[in-house]
Structure 1
Amino acid sequence: MSSKFFIDNDDAVLRDAGLRVTKQRLAIMRVLFEAEDHPDAEQVLARARERDASVSQATTYRTLAVLAEKGVLQTHTFDGGMTRFEVSNRPHHDHLIDMDTGDVMEFVSDEIERLQRKIAAEHGYEIVAHRLELYCRKAG
């Protein structure tokens, strides 16, 4: 599953999050919404600097923190590693994490979703939200 996600108006997202619209923040937004992986803050910074060399570390970290606080971004700390980011308003998916490389792959399984609902129902619950992270190594 590709994590590439486009938004119609970067400016509105920044304003709604209470951030000033600057060319540096717009570069950060494009990196986040075009990411096909789950970049950490330093990766976001490096990619944003490829678009605009004036992007600072402070602006990157502040923008990431505010966007995560406002729910625009989801944060993941896979197996206690660095915090990684992905946009929030994407279709539900789960994660497969390669323990050797740190690569994060997204997947969707209707079978897993059905089983989770069944298990919750058997215990008298309805799932409101969940995250599934599978930590793996290549077989063989």
Structure 2
Amino acid sequence: MASLQAKMDKQVKDLRSEIDQISKDAGSSLTSEREKNQKLIKDLQGQLEDQLARLQEKAEVIRQLEKQNQDNSRSLTDEREKIEELTQTNKKLDTEKEQMAREIESNRRKIDEMEGDVQSRDNKISQYVRKIEERGGVIDRS
């Protein structure tokens, strides 16, 4: 029985030794995995920080573009208002131009009428002068 006890003790000792070795291997494997994970986490943090910095730069560019867009929009609105004012001014000037053209035409007709009246009077005067001269009257034309 002692031999059986010794055999069992040896098996227990071998099993304990095997368990200790497995624990050591598992421990060093876990430490190695932990170190790999920590390195991976640091690498990922670095990548995320780089991405965050790029996103912040892009956000700043977007803010600047939005501000520029607002400024351009205001300028465009101002330009549209100026164009509308100029359009209204042009319409007024066109209306005044048409009115002046009508007045000029009216004045031309009046001048033509006056010239006709002057010609008619001149003709009448010439007729009177001829009649007076025919009757023997002398007229000083100076």
Structure ranking higher in helix proportion = 2
Structure ranking higher in strand proportion = 1
User: Could you say which structure has the greater relative contact order, defined with CA pairs below 8 angstroms and 6 or more residues apart?
Assistant: 1
Output the TM-score relative to the length of structure 2. 0.14
Output the TM-score relative to the length of structure 1. 0.14
